[in-house]
Structure 1
Amino acid sequence: MQLGAMFAIWYILNIYFNIFNKQVLKVYTFPATVTAFHFGCGTLMILIMWASNLYHRPKLTRSQWPTFWIVFSLIPVVGGVALASFTEASFNCIVDDSGAFVLSTIYSMCTQKFFEEDLLQDTSAYYSWKASSWIEEDSCPEYMLKSEECLRKERERVSHYLHSSSETNLLEKVQHELLVTYANRLLEKEHSGCRALLRDDKVEDLSRTYRLYCKIPRGLELVANVFKQHVTAEGTALVQQAEDAVSNYVNFVVVLLHPIL
């Protein structure tokens, strides 16, 4: 009787602890499951103790059976309380997740309507001014390096100060002003454009160019056109060299044979 009372008290207090202890709920949000697991482990431990005679099994008399039937009849009630606790905890988790999703959606819509449009316009104007200055002053590798750094900083600003939904639109504006508007002029710079980089085997600068333009729709087509021009020019030069070599060889033979003929 004492053992049963101890189990009942322990089980009730354990349910109370798991439901109202905030630290436990933060780690595991289903207190009834944890309580049932504890109760099962405790019951198994007692059965092992009885089976191994570490603790003598209590002897029951017929007069004690009604008391035990009352205790056993409480099991469905306790189970119902545990199930209710489990259901309530699950429902609270679902409500919290749904509420967070709704709030996130509302925040995103408000941000886009009242803030993002002005932000995109100001960003576009700022980088348009920057690009017009850099394209005149910097070489192609220097321009690409600055553009890559600007994109990196914009990603950091979005992660720190803006909603994640704004990142795509913001980066597209920056890419358009820095890399699309002056693409042909940038890639075809006479002494530092892509053809010069290919000619001088500037692998690092070429890799940066690829990284930047591969993220832009049809951006690699611009780079491919410059590469095509480079291959065509190099191939034409090699064919011309071969023709000149053959012509020089024929002229050399004619000069050698002229005295004989």
Structure 2
Amino acid sequence: MGEPNQVRWVGIRPVEPEEDIPVKTDYSKASVKVYASDGSSVIPVSDRRLKHFAASASEVTLDPNTKYTVLNANGAGILVGIGHRSWNVAAGNAFFMCELDGYTFNSYIVKTDIAYANAYGINSVGIHELGASVMAVTEWDETNNRYYLFQYNDKIPFAESIYFYLWNRDSSNQATMWGYVHYHLYTSSRVISLKTKHSVSKYVSEIKRMIDKDYKKCDAVIWQIESNIDEFEQVKEKNIAKLHIVVDDDVFEKLKNKIINRLIKERMVCL
């Protein structure tokens, strides 16, 4: 026998009688709207562009057990590829460390450096397939401690920040290293690029918050090393510290000079 009082079964088809109970839903009274998602949009990218960026530090001299920051960016994007070169120390002591969204990943997870290649026996010149990524070793000389490799195609996303530094973990010998990072950022449009007098790597989050608060929206703030060939000394590369501030067209056109003057006042950049 069917349920005599069907009030508490509203919306559920009863066994008896066989007719559906009509139910009317007033969606206008709903306080929360829920939209379907395909699960692929972890990082919001509407009205944004995927821009290429690259950091590169060339021929950096590292004393025993010292580190050197190559890139520190506050923003959302995708890590595309890494290059690492090292001279004078054993492969197991040549690191190019990665931090994504504030978490440190050793090279065994992100596959960033010579230390990783050494640990997993990738110790010969050639192309080595590593699942979703490929590592190209162009130099591997254990006799003279000279190593050079590139790694591409992991396409690792990050939602808040990306940070890379070279690390000579040898406790006795000085090392010479080169580090390269290719990455994308989800950005609105324009980039304000400035040289910095000194490393402002540890201030990128504060700079982004300041611009968000005082000058409207800021998509990303990047501090990185960029090596350029000196036009007067063609064979020598210079490592230039750059601060890149990524904003939309409106902020760029109306507030660019105010942002630059504020950073000069705070002694963060130089013209």
Instruction: Indicate the TM-score class for this superposition, using the shorter chain for normalisation.
Output: under 0.3
Superposition TM-score, scaled by structure 2 size: 0.23
Higher strand proportion (structure 1 or 2): 2
> If the length of structure 1 is used for normalisation, what is the TM-score?
0.23
Larger fraction in helix: 1
